[in-house]
């Protein structure tokens, strides 16, 4: 692969344009993906936030579910933010019974985990592999990782969220091989470091 990998952004819902801009800034050629043909041409894929139940239904009607599962099982690097993390998980708690999983990550996530009263919040996180400054994280009806398998590296956790009663540190960023996921939205801040981490994963996977 050239030093400019081609990275798709799943363009069903969510901050597609923001992800495309971040990936370009991080040194990739970023393209929207809506069809299986487009999926087959990318070196990696970003799954934006949105509503995982709706995205799951859209993936079915765009006939992308099986092609996407096949590419992820075949080792294609993927990065999911928020609803994207939910889609990549092995299992979702508090999901809809017909909600589909893509299964690149051996984790169990809980949807809307921080509770209704904390719809959204921001926090500064220590993030493994990202040095110097903490990552400013924007959470919007975010999931957390409730259980992570042995092969999953925990990259960031959050605790002391205002409005959340217990102080347990909750896992909000993980990596398993070339699959990266954050419960928050790095595309909604000017900080490009999480996207750069993903572009590096895509380069290494080539």
User: If binding is defined by CB under 6 A, does position 49 make contact with ligand GLN?
Assistant: yes
Q: Is 131 a catalytic residue?
A: no
Q: At which residue do the structure tokens 């999931």 appear?
A: 143
> Where are any strands of DSSP class E within the chain?
6-10, 29-33, 44-47, 78-81, 89-93, 105-110, 120-127, 130-140, 144-148, 153-158, 170-176, 179-182
User: If binding is defined by CB under 6 A, does position 99 make contact with ligand GLN?
Assistant: no
Task: Write the binding mask 101 to 130 for ligand GLN: x where contact by CB under 6 A, - elsewhere.
Answer: ----------xx------------------
CB of 206 to ligand GLN, least distance (A): 29
Ramachandran assignment for 63, one of left (phi > 0), alpha (psi -120 to 50 degrees), beta (any other): left
User: If binding is defined by CB under 6 A, does position 91 make contact with ligand GLN?
Assistant: no
Q: Is 111 annotated as a binding residue?
A: yes
- Of 112 and 157, which CB lies nearer to ligand GLN in the complex structure? 112
Among 50, 80, 104, 186, binds ligand GLN (CB under 6 A): 50
Task: Give Dmax (Cα) for the chain.
Answer: 49
- Of 50 and 104, which CB lies nearer to ligand GLN in the complex structure? 50
Buried b (16+ CB within 10 A) or exposed e, 104-137: bbbbebbbebbeeebeebebebebeebeeeebeb
Q: Is 35 annotated as a binding residue?
A: no
Look up residue 127 and give its two tokens: 């993030």
Q: Is 185 a catalytic residue?
A: yes
Among 15, 23, 28, 86, binds ligand GLN (CB under 6 A): 86
Which residues are at the interface with ligand GLN (CB under 6 A)? 49-52, 82-83, 86, 111-112, 140-141
């Amino acid at each position: 692969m050239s030093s400019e990998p081609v990275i798709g952004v799943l363009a069903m819902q969510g901050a597609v344009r923001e992800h495309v801009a971040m990936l370009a800034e991080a040194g990739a050629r970023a393209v929207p993906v809506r069809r299986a043909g487009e999926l087959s041409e990318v070196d990696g894929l970003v799954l934006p936030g949105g509503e995982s139940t709706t995205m799951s239904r859209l993936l079915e009607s765009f006939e992308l579910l099986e092609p996407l599962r096949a590419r992820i099982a075949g080792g294609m690097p993927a990065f999911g933010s928020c609803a994207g993390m939910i889609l990549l998980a092995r299992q979702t708690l508090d999901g809809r019974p017909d909600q589909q999983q893509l299964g690149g990550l051996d984790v169990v996530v809980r949807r809307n985990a921080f509770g209704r009263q904390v719809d959204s919040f921001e926090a500064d996180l220590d993030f493994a592999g990202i040095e110097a400054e903490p990552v400013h994280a924007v959470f919007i009806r975010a999931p957390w990782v409730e259980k992570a398998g042995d092969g999953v590296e925990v990259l960031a956790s959050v605790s002391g969220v205002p409005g959340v009663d217990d102080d347990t540190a909750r896992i909000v960023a993980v990596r398993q091989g070339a699959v990266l996921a954050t419960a928050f939205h790095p595309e909604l801040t000017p900080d490009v470091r999480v996207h750069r981490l993903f572009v590096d994963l895509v380069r290494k996977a080539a």
